[in-house]
Structure 1
Amino acid sequence: MREVILSEFLLQKLERKGATSLARQLYDVLRQLILAGDLGAGTKLPASRVLAKETALSRNTVLGAYEQLQSEGYVVSTTGSGTFVSDTVPSLPLRHSDRTDVAAVVPAHLALSRRGADLVRNAQASSVQWGAFTPGVPDVSLFPHEIWSRLTRRRWRKPDPALLTYSHGPGYLPLRTALAQHLRFARSVDCEPDQVIVTNGVHQSLSLIAGLLGDSNEVAWIENPAYWGARTVLKANGLRVQPIHVDDEGMAPSEEQMQTPPRFMFVTPSHQYPLGTVMSLSRRRMLLEYAHRNNSWIIEDDYDSEFRYDGRPIASLQGLDSNERVIYLGTFSKTLFPGLRLSFMVVPRVLSVHFGTGLSELYREGRLIDQAVLADFMNDGHYASHIRRMRTQYARRQTLLRDAILAQFGGGWPISTHEAGQHLVMHLPEGTDDVGIVLAARSLGISLRPLSRYYAGGGGRAGLVLGYACVPDDVIGPAFQKLVPAIVPALEHVSRSRQQPRKSSNMINEGAWSGA
């Protein structure tokens, strides 16, 4: 909604002699526009002086409304950039007949359950899933489409009717056999085909685990920071999620926390998401022994493990487990393409039959012909070849992005570990508004994530999570240069707040960083 249209709309809606204060009226109208999607995520609101002048309101009235919207999470203000609509606002579509009367919209929180409202209010799934610097997305343009098409045509030429009906049980056996062989060799996973469960994404795997092994209100430990989706799915399944601090060796529960064992522990030991660290052997052994003594389940999300650039891939936590307390999760979304929506679990032998039954009972699975094509793809050696090719590609792109960051902000600027993955973290000084940077970047056509939002309960370290896998080599440098104007004002604001002399962007390279 353009500023002039917004001003005209507000002039029609505000009642100058109404019983409700003008600041409250302005807040109500803007809030409803945001909830309705008429002011979409990332939209920049007019400056307070401009809006005050165009609506004949006092600037204090406008500031009061903006401050209330910010305190409730509807907008984010960043010094030097402006006020932007937040990307976590609950939004339900309006009926066509309601769009002329924004004030008549029923707020989302009145229609949703407490659990549903919490889920929507804290949603972090982005509408942007491609381009610089979207995290967690592989370069789907380099997927061997012709090979996949040939294998698909072969399966569809005279399809087996059994592949076109519902699936019953843990998935297509030839795919589970190929997966078990691959995991034993590449990830040191101790498994047989009957332990492999094929699912439609890691979210479904987590939902099945929570539904079959967890009761309402039981506790799940999760790394802090952690993948937001895991937190969401576990909470949506009635578990109490308890964030556990992550140090340089991985999940680090305190002595007090260990006095009350959880039902689940969700970890990313081979490549911590989002920080990128590797869990130490001593910490792995401690968690395994703790799980064994307390009958807890460890959920190992082997995130980005295939893309390791320094030495061989780190062996799985599951491969160290002699007491069958680990459930191993993997996905093809990062190694092939997200739209495939196929992932897998390796469960302890005692659970394999129950998980196959639970999968069929809850989700009425299908996709068997896609599973058959994937099995052919793996058995013909195309999967391993694709992984090797993309590992080289992503390693080069990571280097290009690192070089771009260091060239602009100095050789000592802290960046996450370089050994693996499809993203990196550019750490920022304490107090930097990383959410504001991300919103400002969106207005520049660049997508990234704020590190602070990966921490439960707020107060996390500031940083930028930048994906490089889906960014062509020749785009990385120019795209980061385009991003710099969104970063520099936030860094200068931190410098001024510490009563340091104002620095240019080149001076920031030399001195703005101090201990995030």
Structure 2
Amino acid sequence: MDTVLLFDWILARLDRTSGEPVYRQLLSLMQQAVLTGQLAAGTKLPSSRTLATDLGIARNTVLHVYDQLSAEGYVISTTGSGTYVADTRPDAEALAPRPAACDPKAAADAPVSTFPRGGMSVRGQRLIDEAGVSAKQWGAFMPGVPDVAEFPARTWSRLQARLWKSANHDLLTYAPGGGYRPLRRALSDYLRVARSVRCTPDQIVITTGIHQSIDLTVRLLTDVGDRAWVEEPCYWGVRSVLQSSGLKLAPVPVDAEGLNPGERDLRNPPRLALVTPSHQYPLGMVMSLARRRTLLEYARQHKVWIIEDDYDSEFRYGSRPLASLQGLDDAGQVIYVGSLGKTLFPGLRIGYMVVPEHMVDAFRTGVAELYREGQLMQQAVLAEFIMDGHLTSHVRRMRALYGERRQLLIDAVTQHFGDALPVMGDEAGLHFVLGLPEGCDDRAVTAASYEAGVIVRPLASYYSGQPTRKGLLTGYACVPNEQIGPAFATLAKVIEEHAFGRAARGARSRRTA
């Protein structure tokens, strides 16, 4: 394209009525001309004065455009000679295909790609294919979601305003390894009383939540290819973290007493075991004391690291929260992880780990090296929130509210189905599992209920292998009391259609009438 055509091409595309500045339009047009080859490498551009006159714009505008093109490598300016289009074409030699290796052995040993070039990796594709994340995160009967409308936002706002007013510059930089010390001290006191966790403030490492805590543990304590025990079934999110880190997962079934490894499992010790002993997720059972002691002794003998995920264990109904597994650990093999997302609000994104004393320095260095933690202001607000007693009172109040909603939902189940469908794991947490008859497809029920405006999760998606039970994870925490009955009536219609059919539904309706 010669300079005359360049003027015409630019003039046809400049929109002087647009809200976009002429400078940006001209810069974009000239960049486009170079990248598409319309302005060939070596082409001399008109002087800034000439281009400004022909386009009817200020010369300073053109000068700024030329300066920016030069800074980004589109043109080369030579004093006394002018401005020329730079050669930005890809290096043909670098892109030329390389000849095959001459050494047959080298060719044979070369790694073979198992995925299309430019496509996703095998583990990346598996992560996406097996993802359990939902497009909706709120409403009846989304499991595992607290009622954020009940959070004491005014109290939090007051504490936050007070801290911002003091303008402590130390709270605006990266977090020190392990996190804000007053928060670690507050959490240490809280966990000792509420969860019987044995720890000092130095043993606590602040993270953004359970996922990051597990990811950091895996990176520091395992290598690609190591085996990890996971409960069967288990939370899909942590399973995804472990799989994407290159670990080989060994699903271990759970029964009424929790994790129940068989002889084959015990013969092949894992590097890591991830358990939810105080409230198994998703089925809700509690690991018995005998199983806890057995697991700890096995871990001590075989140098197995245990990650204890203390999932929403503060919310127990009818009994006090149970003591942690970590509180029984004398060998320093348990990494205790927790989060305040379910206790306060999910968007807080603050979790914590309690690590053995001999691993403190490694974990504090690891979290700072890998994630460059911040959010010190939020951590400071949370520390004040805990130390002023607001966390304890909020948990107490929400336990009563969630217990009330749990009972309303159980009553709705009984009203519609009598004892035909079992309720499992309702003693604690923010959900229970509503069992379905044998042969009923819980994934199909989930999809149909979603279309009807009700969210549940299929129990089948929490199994690594073939599910041994069918059911729906049914949450009640974020559903206002008055909406529980009508919402479950909608869900009940879907269940009836899939689980019983018209004839059986009519007969059952007559029996319960």
TM-score by length of 2: 0.76
**1:454–1:460: 8 Å Cα contact kept in structure 2?**
no
Shift of residue 409 of structure 1? 0.4
**1:170–1:197: 8 Å Cα contact kept in structure 2?**
yes
Q: Take 1:426 and 1:158, find their aligned partners in 2: how far apart are those partners?
A: 50
Count of residue correspondences = 398
Match of 2:171 among 144, 163, 170: 163
The one-letter amino acid of 2:176's match is: H
Name the residue aligned to 1:116: 124
**2:213–2:352: 8 Å Cα contact kept in structure 1?**
yes
The one-letter amino acid of 2:504's match is: K
Q: Take 2:168 and 2:136, find their aligned partners in 1: how far apart are those partners?
A: 37
Name the residue aligned to 2:296: 288
Shift of residue 482 of structure 1? 1.2
Name the residue aligned to 1:503: 504
Aligned-CA RMSD value: 1.7
| Greater C-alpha radius of gyration | 2
SS of the equivalent of 1:244 reads strand
The one-letter amino acid of 2:157's match is: S
Q: Take 1:196 and 1:338, find their aligned partners in 2: how far apart are those partners?
A: 20
Please tell me whether residue 431 in structure 1 is matched to residue 432 in structure 2: no
Q: Take 1:445 and 1:108, find their aligned partners in 2: how far apart are those partners?
A: 39
Provide Cα deviations, 1:355-408, integer angstroms capped at 9, x if missing partner.
Answer: 010000000100001000000000000000000000000000000000000110
Name the residue aligned to 2:67: none
**2:306–2:333: 8 Å Cα contact kept in structure 1?**
yes
Q: Take 1:414 and 1:109, find their aligned partners in 2: how far apart are those partners?
A: 49
Provide Cα deviations, 1:41-90, integer angstroms capped at 9, x if missing partner.
Answer: xxxxxxxxxxxxxxxxxxxxxxxxxxxxxxxxxxxxxxxxxxxxxxxxxx
Name the residue aligned to 1:351: 359
Q: Take 1:150 and 1:240, find their aligned partners in 2: how far apart are those partners?
A: 47
SS of the equivalent of 1:503 reads helix
The one-letter amino acid of 2:404's match is: R
Name the residue aligned to 1:396: 404
Shift of residue 449 of structure 1? 0.1
Q: Take 2:346 and 2:141, find their aligned partners in 1: how far apart are those partners?
A: 16
SS of the equivalent of 1:111 reads coil
The one-letter amino acid of 1:362's match is: L
Q: Take 2:200 and 2:247, find their aligned partners in 1: how far apart are those partners?
A: 30
Q: 1:435 to 1:147 in 2, by over 3 A?
A: same
**2:426–2:433: 8 Å Cα contact kept in structure 1?**
no
Q: Which moved more, 1:215-224 or 1:483-492?
A: 483-492
Match of 1:225 among 209, 215, 233: 233
**2:214–2:238: 8 Å Cα contact kept in structure 1?**
yes
| Unmatched segments (≥5 aa) in structure 2 | 1-114
SS of the equivalent of 2:249 reads strand
Shift of residue 504 of structure 1? 2.1
Name the residue aligned to 1:457: 465
Shift of residue 490 of structure 1? 1.2
Name the residue aligned to 1:47: none
**2:421–2:437: 8 Å Cα contact kept in structure 1?**
no
Name the residue aligned to 1:307: 315
Name the residue aligned to 1:420: 428
Name the residue aligned to 1:258: 266
Shift of residue 505 of structure 1? 4.8
Q: Take 2:175 and 2:487, find their aligned partners in 1: how far apart are those partners?
A: 44
Q: Take 1:268 and 1:118, find their aligned partners in 2: how far apart are those partners?
A: 24
Q: Take 2:443 and 2:294, find their aligned partners in 1: how far apart are those partners?
A: 36
SS of the equivalent of 1:369 reads helix
Name the residue aligned to 1:48: none
Name the residue aligned to 1:342: 350
Q: 1:327 to 1:161 in 2, by over 3 A?
A: same
Q: Take 1:395 and 1:281, find their aligned partners in 2: how far apart are those partners?
A: 26
Q: Take 2:511 and 2:228, find their aligned partners in 1: how far apart are those partners?
A: 43
Q: Which runs of 4+ in 1 moved over 3 A?
A: 107-110, 508-511
SS of the equivalent of 1:430 reads coil
Name the residue aligned to 1:88: none
Q: 1:111 to 1:401 in 2, by over 3 A?
A: same
SS of the equivalent of 1:470 reads coil
Q: Take 1:151 and 1:427, find their aligned partners in 2: how far apart are those partners?
A: 44
Please tell me whether residue 140 in structure 1 is matched to residue 141 in structure 2: no
Give the alignment of 1:99-114 within 5 angstroms.
Answer: 111-114=119-122
Q: 1:214 to 1:380 in 2, by over 3 A?
A: same
| Unmatched segments (≥5 aa) in structure 1 | 1-106, 497-501, 512-516
The one-letter amino acid of 1:504's match is: R
Give the alignment of 1:174-213 within 5 angstroms.
Answer: 174-213=182-221
TM-score by length of 1: 0.75
Please tell me whether residue 276 in structure 1 is matched to residue 277 in structure 2: no
Please tell me whether residue 473 in structure 1 is matched to residue 481 in structure 2: yes
